[in-house]
Amino acid sequence: MNPNGPVLVTGATGFLGSHLLARLRAAGRAVTIVSRSPRPALGAEGIRVVVGALHDPAVCAEAVRGAETVFHVAARVGVWGRREDFFRDNVLATRALLAAARAAGVARFVHTSTPSVVYHGRDLAGADESLPLTRSCPSPYPLTKAIAEAEVLAAHAPDFRVCALRPHLIWGVGDPHLVPRILARAAAGRLRVVGSGANRVDMVHVENAADAHLLAEAALAKGTAGGRAYFITNGEPVNLWRWIDELVAALGRPPLPARRVPLPVASALGAACEAVWTILPLAGEPPMTRFIAAELAKDHWFRIDAARRDLGYAPRVSMAEGTARLVAHLRATPPIRD
């Protein structure tokens, strides 16, 4: 099996997907992507673009044609929204892609999952892959990603090797989600420390996350991995609120307010917001949800021993180096607004 053959990348226009796409193109790989709209600029670069929705079996069948590896990075992300939308984009799309890949004789399938598939509402300190998948969560994202991951791993076979990667809080220069939201809320005076402020979290730099995907493909080709999930982080848990404070200070912006919001209060506020957004309903995401409250207040860091052992994963960009790059970039760009 050739780990240097043609590949399909879903979610290739997103943050992680675009980094993975760049790495594959730099290696001279033939790449197909799926997009809901035409991408003439990417087509001009020699990338094969299939236009359509991933939950459409015909789109998947066309997308996997000729591919030897599928990197399934695409997903509906977020903490709020209709469950049917998350189910369509995270579960039905994965099912359609799996079926098309097996029918087309694709050799390898690398699925981008998330650590939130093991959300159980409690602290996760040094957790490993033995944790069961969640079946109860106040957000449809972890629930639908857990279903999708389970179906991917169940499809593993000698002639169709699969694995799932769980990158946690992907960040870096160009991040459109995590850091911009933090800085925008801090600038607007809307960011408060939830809980004790002592919780530790893992993050993963986007370049390390891209490394992990390429290493997973190679490991599947060699047979050193298959049929299991792997946490992917920087392997350097940080105090979440101290890291945010230091980032804000490095950018010369006002520090976070000293007043903290107890987790029970934040959870109650989140439940109230969810009720209002459901009953009215209101557009966009609520400013607080029960899931966000738990994520902001609790430990969630993970062991990466299995990824080191089976994939040969070793984070190249440290938290310190990544933060320095990010600060330099943000200092050279206009302020982020909410």
Cα Rg, the chain, nearest whole Å = 20
Other Cβ atoms closer than 10 A to 158:
7
Burial class (CB in 10 A: 0-12, 13-18, 19+), 16: buried
Structure tokens at 259: 């007043």
Instruction: For residues 88 and 260, give the distance between their C-alpha atoms in angstroms, rounded to a whole number.
Output: 38
- Catalytic residue of the set 119, 141, 230, 313: 141
Token couple for 295:
């994520």
Q: Which residue has the higher pLDDT, 128 or 191?
A: 128
CATH topology of domain 7-172+202-235+301-317: Rossmann fold (3.40.50)
Helices 290-297 & 263-279, crossing angle to 10 degrees? 160
pLDDT class of 1 with cuts at 50, 70, 90:
very low
- Rounded distance between C-alpha atoms, residue 72 and residue 99, angstroms: 13
Looking at residue 259, its pLDDT comes to 80
Distances (CA, A) of 290 to 79, 119, 293: 10, 12, 5
- Looking at residue 329, its pLDDT comes to 94
Strands (E), 170-219: 170-171, 193-194, 200-201, 204-205
Q: Which residue ranges make up each domain of the chain?
A: 7-172+202-235+301-317
Residue-wise pLDDT tens digits, 267-285:
999 999 999 999 998 988 8
User: For residue 186, what pLDDT is reported?
Assistant: 83
**Residue 217 above 90 pLDDT?**
yes
The mean pLDDT value of the chain amounts to 94
Q: Per mean pLDDT, which range of 187-196, 206-215, 241-250, 287-296 is the poorest?
A: 187-196
Phi then psi for residue 72, to 5 deg, are -95, 90
| pLDDT surpassing 50 at residue 325 | yes
Contacts of 264 (CB under 8 A, 6+ apart): none
The arithmetic mean of pLDDT across residues 322-334, rounded, is 90
Tell whether the torsion through CA atoms of 295, 296, 297 and 298 is positive or negative. Answer: positive
pLDDT of residue 159: 96
Looking at residue 281, its pLDDT comes to 84
Q: What is the mean pLDDT of residues 280-306?
A: 93
Say yes or no to pLDDT of 129 above 80: yes
pLDDT of 335 reads 58
Using CA atoms, how far apart are residues 76 and 90, in angstroms rounded to an integer?
Answer: 6
Residues 78-95, mean pLDDT to the nearest whole number: 96
Cβ 201 vs Cβ 237: under 8 Å: yes
Asked if residue 114 has pLDDT above 60, the reply is: yes
Known active-site residue 141 = yes
CB 200 within 8 A of CB 238: yes
Per-residue pLDDT reduced to its tens digit, 52-71: 999 999 999 999 999 999 99
pLDDT at 338: 44
* Mean per-residue pLDDT, 149-163: 98
Share of the chain above pLDDT 70, in %: 98
